[in-house]
Amino acid sequence: MKKILHVAVENYAGVPYDFARMHNECGDYSRLITQYPNIRGFKEDITLNFYVSRSSLASFWRKKKRDDTYTTTHNQAPIFKPKNFFEHIYFSLSDIVRQYSVAELLEKEHLNDFDIIHFDGGMDFTRKPKQALVWKKEGKKIVTCYYGSDLRSRGIIKELEEISDMRITSEYDHLELMDNLHYIFYPYDTSELPTPIPNAGNTIKIVHSPTNRQFKGTDGIISCIDRLRKSFPIDFYLLENMPRQEVLEIKKHCDICIDQVGGTQGGTGYGKSGLETLAMEIPTITNMTDEYSEWIPENPFVIANSHKELEEKLVFLIENKDNRKKIGLHGKKWVQTYHSYQSVNHSLYNLYAKHCII
């Protein structure tokens, strides 16, 4: 039995928690420690409850940094560095303040006793990977894992990457952003989902639940829905800034999901939202490059790479209930096959062996 610790800034879309839960259910021992709680209602393990500003000014500054970084880097992961002198001072002081709380919690929860450390999001407790360096000297194996904007926008924490024994991602487009990065489906347990309720009416229920409108192409999706409403009876659910359980309760009544189409930033493919709707037997539309689409085994998604294609695919699904049912059943089976704890754990252990982690 291996002892595997996950360290994350937050429980991004519940994925770090699912990794820790997967380890435990597959015979290892795992914990997840986060810097601050997520705001979407995903389950937590241990959190340091550090302060993070969610004010409009702070959100504006983060968005500006993300936009600037994406514009200048494109197909190469940036190296993280403070954007200016004031940010450098802020990060430095913040790191100093946090060190005591981190050391105290590691001792209290016996978190120094783990064999393998996953840094989910590619970041230590502070921007200088002091604890990671300590663990590395003690002979622990270091794994960095990237989920999305951490690599595209914030970039690589160079000192952490230099000591990493293995790098993994669940984002296909990340494979072009840095070398020696391995793709792995992220683990997902469908038992947490509510039972879908078939729509008995004539009105088609379509759902879209973006966490970032720019990444998901939300404005263009809304325009597409508005045009189709002139020809079809549609109820459109735009779910933003809502507790997760409320989102799932609405999704279970829906006929079609639009994950992302035409985003101005970010990658292509799918995220936790799209995975949920697939598992609930809901046909799910997303954008994918031809290469990505062909690479995914038994691809269960309805592909639309433009708003024109989105309209065509929506009409196809709206007009044919049998196709919706067939595609929906395939999606649920696909999630169980490729994202199950057993399947992902097997793939991860193969990578552990390849990189001499076990």
Structure-token pair, residue 322: 């049998």
The predicted pLDDT at position 183 comes to 94
Instruction: Give the pTM.
Output: 0.83
Cα 32 to Cα 14: distance, rounded to the nearest angstrom: 11
Residue 49: count other Cβ atoms within 10 Å of its Cβ: 11
- The strand pairing partners of 166, in sequence order, are 143
Higher pLDDT, 64 or 32: 32
- Residue 111 CA to residue 103 CA, distance in Å, equals 10
The string of pLDDT tens digits covering residues 80-101 is 776 777 777 767 777 777 888 8
CB atoms within 10 A of CB 313: 18
- Mean pLDDT (the chain, rounded): 87
Per residue in 154-173, pLDDT (tens digit) is 778 899 999 999 999 998 88
Structural domains of the chain sorted by starting position, each given as residue range(s) with its CATH number in brackets: 3-189+340-354 (3.40.50.2000), 191-338 (3.40.50.2000)
Least confident range from 50-54, 79-83, 184-188: namely 50-54
Q: Give the pLDDT score at 284.
A: 97
Count of all residues that appear for the chain in the document: 358
pLDDT at 211 over 50: yes
Q: What is the pLDDT of residues 247-306, one digit of tens each?
A: 999 999 999 999 999 776 555 678 888 999 999 999 999 999 899 999 999 999 999 998
Answer for the pair 30, 3: CB distance below 8 angstroms, yes or no. Answer: yes
Q: What is the mean pLDDT of residues 324-343?
A: 95
